[in-house]
Amino acid sequence: GESVGLHLPTLSVQEGDNSIINCAYSNSASDYFIWYKQESGKGPQFIIDIRSNMDKRQGQRVTVLLNKTVKHLSLQIAATQPGDSAVYFCAAGGGADGLTFGKGTHLIIQP
């Protein structure tokens, strides 16, 4: 079955720097990928998604890159702020039957 994993359980960055969070997936048939942000004690919050036929998608201060050749995607956060501190999950999907989540990367912002 599908497995989705993140390379690093914890990432520490300086406030104002750019953050890059990585994710690998196993199922090349996944139709799309979604990044979620989860703050302590809350549910996952939708950040951005990307279809499998795209290489890049940009949102407000965030960019997702997809490399289908090596089954890898990344979330880039520009000018990291204290409010970006959270656990970030990537998830893979193929229809209405639910998402497969990775284990998450805890982003820590240092002043």
Partner 1 sequence: NAGVTQTPKFQVLKTGQSMTLQCAQDMNHNSMYWYRQDPGMGLRLIYYSASEGTTDKGEVPNGYNVSRLNKREFSLRLESAAPSQTSVYFCASSRLAGGIYEQYFGPGTRLTVT
CB of 109 to partner 1, least distance (A): 20
**What's the CA dihedral at 25, 58, 18, 66 to 10 degrees?**
20
Residue 15 vs 103, nearer CB to partner 1: 103
Six-digit token pair at 57?
Answer: 């998608």
- Report the residue from 29, 82, 96, 111 that binds partner 1 according to the rule CB under 8 A: 96
7 binds partner 1 (CB under 8 A): no
CB-count exposure of residue 85 (10 Å: 0-12, 13-18, 19+): middle
Residue 56 vs 103, nearer CB to partner 1: 103
- Report the residue from 12, 18, 26, 31 that binds partner 1 according to the rule CB under 8 A: 31
CB-count exposure of residue 14 (10 Å: 0-12, 13-18, 19+): exposed
Six-digit token pair at 38?
Answer: 């989860």
Gap between the Cα atoms of 111 and 97, Å rounded = 41
Residue 8 vs 79, nearer CB to partner 1: 8
Which residues of the chain form contacts with partner 1 (CB under 8 A)?
Answer: 1, 4, 9, 31-32, 34, 36, 41-46, 49, 51, 89, 91, 93, 95-104
